[in-house]
Structure 1
């Protein structure tokens, strides 16, 4: 029996037939055995994608196109394992990812989610690490990343992914909701996510909508943002980092050169 039988991997797919097989294969190749896997077809219209989904050896849940948040929620709802990880159909997990991500959750029941280092492949290569997680940092920057292993109880407590964030930041909103409710996250110092950089992927497209999407975050989590002075005092972020968050990564959009410089300064590359 797989040591990851208590994990479901949810793979949302919309017209990504050319890559969904690679995503599923990366889950089947996990050290210690494969997790349960469910692919959610979010109303794909591409014939090649529909054929690719038919060839998969794992369950496929089909729904009318409703966006990434709704697809992830459908995947969560279709199974009952205590742990869940969402992996988009164009990405992969490295072989040891689930073992690494499960360790902090097994060690501490108060930890609701875990995440690690992101490694880019495809049109761009490099590693993206993040500083230590604290609530203050999360008010200004998404320092967790899009993929983490979560407890099902956390997903239920948060109310799932919010379909209102259809064009981006649905994961940032989800993690903020978890922190708002007192859940803790843990970072592991291993590469646990392989992010395919290609064309106009969702996360990079969301940068052009930064003002609107970030405004939605601040409005939805207004009570948490109102505590930013208190949270800053408890934060591990140093003075210079706090000033960058406050003045450059607040409600205003950030020039790309400034964001890249700040990443080099504060995030391990």
Structure 2
């Protein structure tokens, strides 16, 4: 008899028919199996719906909704879960086989931990990049300036209940960051397994890149206003982190300005600038 994991995997899917089967197999091939996988089709097109119809495993349920965004999809899937633990997995990403086993062990043994993530690698143009990304995790103080976690992580169902789920107003992005802040502000910690047990797919057009390029200030302003008391209570830590980020950006800019490539490029552009000025 196989050990019970007490894990339900929630997998939102929006037009990810090319990748969803890899995500599905990554959870079915875990050394500690999930009790159930709930795929939430968020109004995908015909090609993805055709792929989803072909998924026929005993412990996988596919539900459908009109396109309402990832927050609504996750919340609707989690409402159906009957396990203590929830694992988020976007339909275009995947976990290594040992993640659930190692993450469940952490939650079972450490009552103060509400969320378990891990180091990860990125997949770009069908090639896994060798750089390992190492989110910090920890307490809420580590999340004031940047998201120091991973959107695809294992967490306690009661954490989701305590914060009333994902904020469905954050349809444009950064909902994971907000979700982790909300949970950690309740006194929970996020544990990071220091192994690259997850692969994040980078696509040319993605919700994450759109959020960063087009809605960054708007979303960060919303986060600050929503958690204003938290930021004020941790003002010194917030300020220290902002000073550090500002100093790092200045150093990177200076390094770029002093680089050989920049100097050569600047010399090449001199006659064009003169011509532009002369034409005006």
Normalising by structure 2, we get a TM-score of 0.81
Q: Which residue of 2 aligns with 1:93?
A: 95
Q: Which residue of 2 aligns with 1:140?
A: 145
Kept in 2, the 8 Å contact 1:27–1:35? The answer is: no
Is 2:182 the counterpart of 1:177? yes
Deviation at 1:171, TM superposition (A): 0.4
Q: Which residue of 2 aligns with 1:13?
A: 13
Deviation at 1:5, TM superposition (A): 3.8
Q: Which residue of 2 aligns with 1:165?
A: 170
Within 1, Cα distance between the matches of 2:83 and 2:34? 13
Closer, same or farther in 2 for the Cα pair 1:68/1:132, shift >3 Å?
closer
Within 2, Cα distance between the matches of 1:113 and 1:132? 9
From 203, 213, 237, the equivalent of 2:219 is 213
The 3-state SS of whatever aligns with 1:130 is coil
Q: Which residue of 2 aligns with 1:111?
A: 113
C-alpha deviations, 1:31-51, integer Å up to 9, x for none? 13344101001111x211010
Unaligned ranges ≥5, structure 1? 234-238, 262-269
Within 1, Cα distance between the matches of 2:119 and 2:51? 29
The 3-state SS of whatever aligns with 1:128 is coil
Kept in 2, the 8 Å contact 1:28–1:35? The answer is: no
Kept in 2, the 8 Å contact 1:2–1:35? The answer is: no
Deviation at 1:122, TM superposition (A): 2.9
Normalising by structure 1, we get a TM-score of 0.84
Deviation at 1:242, TM superposition (A): 5.6
The 3-state SS of whatever aligns with 1:140 is coil
The 3-state SS of whatever aligns with 1:30 is coil
Q: Which residue of 2 aligns with 1:223?
A: 229
Within 2, Cα distance between the matches of 1:29 and 1:2? 14
Within 2, Cα distance between the matches of 1:3 and 1:74? 27
C-alpha deviations, 1:72-103, integer Å up to 9, x for none? 00110112110001101111111111112122
Q: Which residue of 2 aligns with 1:189?
A: 194
Is 2:203 the counterpart of 1:204? no
Deviation at 1:184, TM superposition (A): 1.7
Unaligned ranges ≥5, structure 2? 257-280
Closer, same or farther in 2 for the Cα pair 1:179/1:32, shift >3 Å?
closer
Within 1, Cα distance between the matches of 2:38 and 2:137? 31
Deviation at 1:131, TM superposition (A): 2.9
Show structure 1 runs of 4+ deviating over 3 A. Answer: 1-5, 229-233
Within 1, Cα distance between the matches of 2:172 and 2:30? 30
Within 2, Cα distance between the matches of 1:22 and 1:104? 26
- Considering only aligned residues, what root-mean-square deviation do their CA atoms show, in Å? 2.3
Within 1, Cα distance between the matches of 2:231 and 2:208? 23
Kept in 1, the 8 Å contact 2:145–2:242? The answer is: no
Count how many residue pairs are aligned between Structure 1 and Structure 2: 246
Kept in 1, the 8 Å contact 2:33–2:100? The answer is: no
Closer, same or farther in 2 for the Cα pair 1:130/1:63, shift >3 Å?
same
